[in-house]
Structure 1
Amino acid sequence: MTDIKSIAVNALEDLKGKDIVSMDVSGLSDVMETLIICTGTSNRQVKSLANNVVEDGKEAGIRPIGVEGMDSGEWVLVDYGDVVVHVMQAETRGFYDLEKLWSMTPNTREDADGSDPHQD
């Protein structure tokens, strides 16, 4: 089986995507295992980067479940199920800060108020 993670990263590198990050989010999500984030310098580059991921995946026989945001080119999401690729312009990436969001562990009730929910 071909590894869509390496195909996606290579496709992004081929078109000079910036700050490519691959995160294992399997412990935080039931719907995906890997999140790949990349910055493009313009609408045109964001679209080209995302399109290159899709095309290289197709050449390997892997088609995305969906592609969102190709019209604007500000933020394009390519969904392969277990692997989700986000290609964003720098300002958008900085605003949403997905790396920070997805690196946070969920609060438990004990974390939130300092009490142990199992202790009465």
Structure 2
Amino acid sequence: MDLTQSAARAASDKKAEDIVALDVSAQTPIADVFLLATGSNERQVSSIAEAIEEALLATGVKAIRREGLREGRWALMDFNDLIVHVMHQEDRAYYSLERLWKDCPIVALPADL
């Protein structure tokens, strides 16, 4: 299972909502994929982010940068080719990253997420 799939599965296991992966490789050199997930409150955002980090660490991949885990509003984790955004519902609606990256193709995720 690739990195994006593993991260999406870990988010889903913690009841993340609106899990979307965008292929940003043609638009930016900083990553190949942005994975977006939503938590309903600060505690859940932190829990989702921690679960993703643990799942990817189990595959031998460590985040090179992480921000916002303590605040629980917008956790950002950089795994080099994959950047994960776990956002509170209100922040996700406000920043609307899908709209910002609307020209990017959606990466297929398992249907059971």
TM-score after normalising by structure 1: 0.83
Match of 2:93?
A: 94
Q: Deviations over 1:39-65 (max 9, x none)?
A: 001100000000000001111111011
Q: Within 1, Cα distance between the matches of 2:3 and 2:62?
A: 10
Q: Shift of residue 3 of structure 1? A: 1.8
Please give the residue correspondences for 1:34-45 in structure 2 after superposition, counting only pairs within 5 Å. 34-45=33-44
Match of 1:78 in 2: 77
Pairs aligned (count): 104
Residue 104 of structure 1 deviates from its aligned partner by 4.3
Map of 2:102 onto structure 1: 103
Q: Distance in 2 between matches of 1:34 and 1:103?
A: 13
Please, which runs of 5 or more residues in structure 2 have no aligned partner? Answer: 105-113
Aligned residues: CA RMSD: 1.2
Question: What is the Cα deviation at residue 71 of structure 1?
Answer: 1.6
User: Normalising by structure 2, what TM-score?
Assistant: 0.88
SS at match of 2:101: helix
Q: Rg bigger for which structure? A: 1
CA offset digits 1:61-118 (Å, max 9, x no partner): 110111100121000001111110000011100110001101248xxxxxxxxxxxxx
RCO greater where, 1 or 2, for CA within 8 Å and sep 6 or more?
A: 2
| Percent of paired sites with the same residue | 38
Q: Which amino acid aligns with 1:71?
A: R
After TM superposition, which residue ranges in structure 1, 4 or more long, deviate above 2 angstroms? Answer: none
